[in-house]
Amino acid sequence: MLKIQEIREIIKLIDQSAIDEFVFEHEGSKIQMKKNVVSNVTAVKPITQVVESVPVNVQAVQTPVQAVQQIQVEEMKQEVKAAENANLHKITSPMVGTFYASPSPDADNYVKVGSKVSNDSIVCIVEAMKLFNEIEAEVNGEIVEILVKNGQLIEYGQPLFLVKPE
């Protein structure tokens, strides 16, 4: 089975060449590439991702026994996200209690996805036994995900928000 880097290399070479169509068969796997056809990027497992902005269209077809699988765009996104997650800052709860997204039920939420926060921005309140703890972002950045719901009981150390640091 070819590695993604190897496929990329082939794409690059074919793109720079005068070849219109390329078929490669090896140990039951088949890769087929065509230039200037309808854009439909597919690949076979386990070669799932060929993400290159090249003017070729890649078709990799496995043996007829196995179904051809489309590259799952979502899967790609998830992988990209997972890679990004490693760089995201988690705002966690310092205590057990109830999560409130706003200062009172009829008020606007402190933050939403896309909100810019700075170190001392209040992002939510955690309450236990009528003790209200205003949680600060403690990071400069942008809220990319809110992980809990208004009124939800949260645990000590539970992640509440993901922030992309700036």
Partner 1 sequence: MQSDIRKELLDAFTNAGESYLSGQHLADLIGCSRTAVWKHVEELRKEGFELEAIRRKGYRIIKTPEKIIPDEIRLGLKTGFVGKNIYYEDCIDSTQKAAQRLAYDQVPEGTVVIAEEQTAGRGRMNRKWHSPKYTGIWMSLILRPNIPLSKAPQLTLLTAVSIVQAIEDLTNLHTEIKWPNDILINGKKVTGILTELQAESDRIHSIIIGMGINVNQTVDDFPIELQSIASSLLIEKGESIPRAALIKSIFTYFEKLYLLYLEEGFLPIKLLWESYAISIGKIITARTLTGALKGKALGITDDGVLQIEDQEGKIHHIYSADIELN
Residues of this chain that interact with partner 1 (CB under 8 A) are 94-98, 100, 103-105, 107, 127-134, 136, 138, 150-153, 156
Considering the complex, state which of residue 14 and residue 137 has its C-beta at the smaller distance from partner 1. 137
Considering the complex, state which of residue 24 and residue 132 has its C-beta at the smaller distance from partner 1. 132
Closest approach, Cβ 48 to partner 1, in A, equals 40
Residue 16, token pair as written in the block: 């720079």
Closest approach, Cβ 99 to partner 1, in A, equals 9
Q: Which of 57, 88, 83, 82 is nearest to 70 (CA)?
A: 57
Ramachandran angles phi, psi of 124, nearest 5°? -170, 180
Contact 68, 62 (CB under 8 A): yes
Ramachandran angles phi, psi of 60, nearest 5°? -115, 120
Amino acid letter, residue 21: E
Closest approach, Cβ 152 to partner 1, in A, equals 7
* CA terminus-to-terminus distance, the chain: 40
Closest approach, Cβ 142 to partner 1, in A, equals 21
Considering the complex, state which of residue 30 and residue 103 has its C-beta at the smaller distance from partner 1. 103
